Amino acid sequence: MACALLRGGARVEQVCLKRSTAVHEAAKVGCSNIMELLLQHGGMVTERDQDGVTPMAIAAEYAHADVVEVLIYNGGDVNARAPNGDSVLFDAAGAGNTHCIDLLLRHGANPNVASLSSWLPIHRAAYEGHYLALDMLIPITTRRAIRLSGQSPVHSAADGGREQCLQLLVERGFDVNSLLDVHISGSYGDMRRSALFFAVSNGDVPCTQTLLNSGALPDLDPLRCLLVAVRAGRYDIVEMLLARQADVNCYFTVVSDTVFPTALQYCLRDEAMMRLLLANGYDADTCFRCNHDDTWGDLSDRGDCNSQEKVSFCDFLGVSWLVQLAGRAVWILLDYVGHAPLCLKLRQILQKHREWTQICYLLANPRSLTHLCRLAIRKEITPKRSIMSIFGYRNELSKYESLDEDELLAGLSFEEIQELERELADIDPDDNIPIGLRQKDQTAKTPTDTFSREALLKYCKEERRNLQEDDRSESSTKQVRK
């Protein structure tokens, strides 16, 4: 058909409304034979469409390696760039065709040329998840070109949700904590900078886990990753971040500068999320500090000279769209504080809620010793919890999973076996023995002091005999008097 049209006088250079020629269309559909025919009849390999794209770039974008080869042998420019800076290799990396990429590289394509969006071919391959293409581009892309681009391929892989590409980049030595340059970070409204932020904001659990396991720090962004996960209600990601020592008491003052840590603002409607944060060290005491009474002076530890300008928790709850949540929120917070002074404004707000009676009861009575001990214990173990989850008991338990019990018992002495049996009897008692008879015989144990048990038992028997004799004599006296 194409031959017939050409013999009939069809013009190869004729353009459509999009300024595409027949050469562009042949490149798009991947017809190498027709491409050769068109080039023999005057087709131009340098012709550009309305977007400024050459036929070779179109062929690379659609992964037609045979067409790319035809265009190269007919003088096509492997380093041609579109007006937006996209190179032919950049388009090939987006398609992920390794044959096409290899063909371009062998004919001089430059992998270190960035587009106007500061992306290199390696960024495009990582974002699209083309593992093999990324593997080809890593060794030939210079670190200087990546540094000048202002972003790491790790950012691109995290943004695209490509877990395998992330793992490959980590294995090849890329830093998971590299940050976006300021000019790129500024193009995002949330001022994101780390690769972890991309994964968390996308709700991508596998990529988040991969980055954290590879050493990604959770507090590198102005808007912390934890706040993003809390606001999205992602319990799984919040737990992962807290396990990696994310700062639960961080502040984000761009939107509102509050006395209390920012995370609580995003979960007042979510009791489960509130308790998750509070159980992991959220400073609930700051929610009961305000400028309506003398508790405002406790804020000196934050080192702020403009404390009076900060929004306290009672003022925050006073807005019309949050006031209905005040009762439940304060009731939950009281589970994580000792003595909590409520200012007059907060009392006025709470009086309209059904939880007010219970709150008054707690405030009017001393907190139990159990509650105070719980707070003290939580304060001590919370900073260590994340370390335990990373290095602690789980790694230690793994050492005991493959123990040979028979070999272990064979190495015990007769006395050690008897002691083990006694301990097992206490841990796992025989159900056929009544509960009242399961207690140890406390009289059979070794004396703990210098006194004699036998003498003590003899003394008790004599005292009992004397008491019985006194009772008999008293009874006899009463009968005589009658």
Q: Tell me the domain boundaries of the chain.
A: 12-149, 161-247, 260-390
In b/e form, how buried is each residue of 406-422, taking b as 16+ CB within 10 angstroms? eeeeeeeeeeeeeeeee
Per-residue pLDDT tens listing for the chain (482 residues) = 555 445 445 555 656 666 677 788 888 888 888 787 777 766 778 888 888 899 999 999 999 999 999 999 998 999 999 999 999 999 999 999 999 999 999 999 999 999 999 999 999 999 999 999 999 999 999 999 999 999 999 999 999 999 999 999 999 999 999 999 999 999 998 999 999 999 999 999 999 999 999 999 999 999 999 999 999 999 999 999 999 999 999 998 787 788 999 999 999 999 999 999 999 999 999 999 887 764 444 444 444 445 557 888 999 988 888 889 999 999 999 999 988 888 888 888 899 898 898 888 888 888 888 888 888 887 777 655 544 444 444 455 555 556 666 777 777 788 887 777 777 666 555 556 555 555 555 555 565 566 677 777 787 888 888 888 877 777 777 666 65
First to last CA, the chain: 143
Same topology, domains 12-149 and 161-247? Answer is yes
What is the pTM for the complete model shown? Answer: 0.74
Angstrom distance (rounded) from CA 286 to CA 166:
39
Question: For residues 237-274, b (16+ Cβ closer than 10 Å) or e, as one string?
Answer: bbebbbbbbbbbebbbeeeeebbbbbbbbbbbeeeebb
Is the Cα torsion angle 204, 207, 212, 215 positive or negative in sign? Answer: negative
Check if CATH label 1.10.1660.10 holds for domain 161-247. no
CATH number of 12-149: 1.25.40.20
